[in-house]
Structure 1
Amino acid sequence: GRRIREVCEGFGPQRVEFARLGGDEFGLVVCGDPDDADLMRLGERIASHVKLPYQLDTAHTGLSCSIGFASFPDSATTSEALYECADYSLYHAKRHLRGRTVIFSSELEAEIRSRGVIENLLRTANFSTEMELVFQPIVDAMSEHTAGFEVLARWHSSRLGLVSPADFIPAAERIGLIRPLTQALLVRALATARTWPDHIRLSFNLSAHDICAAEGILPLIPIIEKSGLPPHRIDFEITETAVTFDFMRAQQSIATLKAMGCGISLDDFGTGYSSLSHVHRLPLDKIKIDRSFVAEINENPVSHKIIKSLTGLCDDMEIACVVEGVETRAQLDSLRRLGCDFIQGYYFARPMPGDAIGDYLAREGQRLEQAGARVVA
């Protein structure tokens, strides 16, 4: 707070009113009709000042800050609307340009409108008819046998057409629909998995709201019990962000799922907080390495070293390692040499509807049988 105030007090002809809004959020009112260049300059000064190291006893640490601005009357004409525009600019900065300054624009205004449309249509959506489930194989790296399928949701809106999960999942979280959506999708996913061979597992994603709500994952328990699918064939995927949302409550929810016999996978490892304390303190069965490290595994030594380190960590802790985003044979061969356990990606198959899984498994069996015959010959 002192650092930001120092920048504000020394900011040229414009007067800047400065206040703490709560938590780690601060508010600025920049008077004197500043233009966008003035606001960007102020944001850059604040960010660079906050980034300077802090000394705590004998240690040093650092912070960064993201900033969102909105201008009167260009962005909005009331104080409430102006605040909302600035807040959305901050949200955009935190999500896409962390540590940077974003000024509200016509593009962001269109984004807000689109977000509002998605939220309104989601409220009236029929999950049973508009939500489609697709399944992507998770394959044993050495034998190339399918070990399970991750279930993914697709929303076919009658108004918008196909809506990306990257858009409708956050929308469902914002408007409080993620938990009923999770429950509806889990019922259908478990019903599909019951038709698979007994050795094939189902991998299902949970959000922070699913595992950190007051009642935890209690509503999911009867769904699992009534499905007829043994819990030991189910893996629930959680992200590091979900875990850090409320670690203690997440820990309790995960312990309940483990007690039922379900497996737990930590998804997108390496892209979030990447805290090793989560790995040590949670009863994990699998860690999923994000696809961003795989694309350049054979071209970028850093990507190769990161995956090597993560597979070593999994091996030491006796946790299975799943690598996402594998698209080429060369990538698969490199990951095999590094000791990865399971592979997921377009090299083996794109996500498919549930009624295509039987044919996929049959073709896989024929392919592996022919490959075995060639080796013997």
Structure 2
Amino acid sequence: MNEFSPLFAAQLNPRSAALPEMATAVLILDEARQIEYVNHSADELFSPINPIGLTFATLLMNSGAEAESDVFRAIDTDLPPEEVRIRLDDGRLLDCMLRVLSSGGFVLSLDDVTSLVRNAELARRDPLTGLPNRAALREKIAETLKEACGEIGNVAILYVDLDRFKAINDSLGHAMGDALLQKVADRFRKVLHEGEFIARLGGDEFAIIQSGLPQPAAAEELSSRLVDLIARAYAINGHMLHIGASIGVAIYPGDGREAGALLRNADLALYRAKAEGRGSYRFYEPGMDERMQQRRAMEIDLRRALPLGQLHLVYQPKLNLQSNSLVGFEALIRWSHPQRGLVSPADFIPLAEEIGAIVNIGEWALREACRQAASWPKPVSVAVNLSPVQFRTGKILQTVSSALAYSRLEPSRLELEITEGALMEHSSAILGVLNGLRALGVRIAMDDFGTGYSSLGYLQKFPFDAIKIDRSFVRGIDTSAERRVIVRAITQLASALGMTTTAEGIETWAQLECVREEGCTDVQGYLTGRPLSREAARMLLDHRFAENSEMDLA
């Protein structure tokens, strides 16, 4: 360690004698700004450089820093002393305070704040993705709005929520979910430009601040890019994963002048995007708050619907075109609300899936359909729809086994309908469940065939018993040669694979004749039978089979 020079040793009093032992690094410079003394902490700080005899500027240059003029700025301009932060070339950060000595020269104290600064930065970072966290977002919003000063159209807040992430996290485990979030964060970093700040709020939610750009055009362009980018497949540990993104946007100051209002309104817009099908973006509109309150009220009512006995099943007949006979029913859920009346399934089923209520509702529908079908006078089949959400619980096999055992329904009479959406979320795990269901003896049908992107691929992976041709191909089939070709191709493929085909949405005799000519085995629709109450379905069975008659479909 460097000792005091004789000049300063003579001036030491009992208090100044503590300088060598101080944790703070201390340098004493003469009037020429040349270093005359360093205490032990300063000696260690700049080791292996020996500071004695160097000017402070030379010491900083040798340490890879160029801030000497900043340190002396206050003194050179007759301003009060101020702390200056210096970064050395090895990444260390020093807070420097320079003061003039009454005896001439300067005393400079330096504190190594590297750990403090880094810990503070870590506290503002999401440990998984490395993105700024919610606390950093709040600071950035406050800073951005202060700079905006009410200027119209240059700040936007985007709320981003990942679609189908929970299904992957639940089915493949949190390690896979974490790896996916890191991949998503990497994509965010690559696509964002200057003036765009992103933070992870937690889970699969992110927020973006976009500033200094014309709005709403810039937010719309960014939202479109993100929806496209996030939807592209992810290859992780041998799995091809597919998710999407829904985005809500609020623009300052029209949608709010305070951070809280902007974030709340961006969140409302996000809910609208998710409610309208996901994989899209929506801008905030004033009426969204009222609609959200209505939605939350419906959510509360829906959670109560099952225990209050407001749900019931109806049964739509399925007819075989070869025998012109009734061969089964599809069980459909209906909600009779005391104030709202009969709520459309198109309104409450997606909501039930979103809030997770479909799990209990779906289990109830399966048990009830099996129980009622077991009491029918003739052993026709009953079809029950399974939601993709139900597969995430990992209890489908147990639920179906329990329903069959409780009702004593012959397994071959139960047909379970699944959509391509269930397979897309994690096909290998779902296919394992389907094979387990097949082992129970139940039939498996692919519903809404042809509306997705990978229907043919799934037919190769799993031998379905039946294909249900979506009503979009049946509508107008009597006037569209293209739709007839599509239906013909589906029925021929199904026949070659040993599967039956059911055409949905038959409403006219012309449609019925077309699907018959193109090889469909079964049909459903308003023409051949509207959904019936359980009593009406039983009466239809009693009537048809008592007379042993066929339906007049010729």
TM-score range, shorter chain: 0.7 to 0.9
Name the counterpart of 2:80: none
Distance 1:21 1:301 in 2: 51
Q: How big is the shift at 1:80?
A: 4.6
Q: How does 1:1-16 map to 2 (within 5 A)?
A: 8-9=193-194, 15-16=195-196
Contact residue 246 and residue 270 of structure 2 kept, 8 A: no
Return the match for 1:270 from 450, 456, 467: 450
Q: Does 1:341 align with 2:524?
A: no
Secondary structure at 2:526's aligned position in 1? Answer: coil
Contact residue 329 and residue 383 of structure 2 kept, 8 A: yes
Change (3 A) 1:295 1:39: same
Deviations 1:309-331 (A, max 9, x none): 11121111111111100111111
Name which structure has the greater RCO, CA cutoff 8 Å, separation 6+. Answer: 1
Contact residue 4 and residue 49 of structure 1 kept, 8 A: no
Contact residue 326 and residue 551 of structure 2 kept, 8 A: no
Secondary structure at 1:297's aligned position in 2? Answer: coil
Q: Does 1:230 align with 2:410?
A: yes
Return the match for 2:481 from 301, 304, 324: 301
TM-score normalised over the length of structure 1: 0.81
Secondary structure at 1:124's aligned position in 2? Answer: helix
Secondary structure at 2:476's aligned position in 1? Answer: coil
TM-score normalised over the length of structure 2: 0.57
Return the match for 1:244 from 419, 424, 427: 424
Change (3 A) 1:286 1:155: same
Q: How big is the shift at 1:168?
A: 2.0
Return the match for 2:268 from 80, 85, 88: 85
Name the counterpart of 1:167: 347
Rg bigger for which structure? 2
Distance 1:125 1:362 in 2: 31
Q: How big is the shift at 1:165?
A: 1.8
Query: What count of residue pairs does the alignment treat as equivalent?
Result: 356
Secondary structure at 1:256's aligned position in 2? Answer: helix
Tell me the C-alpha RMSD between the 2 structures: 3.5
Deviations 1:271-330 (A, max 9, x none): 123332211112310011110111111222222221111112111111111110011111
Deviations 1:228-247 (A, max 9, x none): 21111000111100122222
Return the match for 2:491 from 299, 311, 334: 311
Letter matched to residue 323 of structure 2: S
Between the two proteins, what is the percent identity of the paired residues? 33
Distance 1:108 1:165 in 2: 22
Distance 1:184 1:222 in 2: 11
My pick for the range that moved more, 217-226 or 229-238, is 217-226
Distance 2:490 2:552 in 1: 31
Distance 2:333 2:487 in 1: 28
Contact residue 449 and residue 455 of structure 2 kept, 8 A: no
Name the counterpart of 2:143: none
Return the match for 2:534 from 344, 349, 354: 354
Q: Does 1:212 align with 2:395?
A: no
Distance 1:49 1:232 in 2: 43
My pick for the range that moved more, 203-212 or 146-155, is 203-212
Secondary structure at 1:143's aligned position in 2? Answer: coil
Q: Which runs of 5+ in 2 are unaligned?
A: 1-185, 234-242
Distance 1:200 1:292 in 2: 27
Contact residue 294 and residue 303 of structure 1 kept, 8 A: yes
Change (3 A) 1:257 1:308: same
Distance 2:456 2:552 in 1: 40
Change (3 A) 1:304 1:47: farther
My pick for the range that moved more, 300-309 or 78-87, is 78-87
Change (3 A) 1:223 1:64: closer
Deviations 1:82-139 (A, max 9, x none): 45234325425654xx6x6531223544443232112111222344620021000111
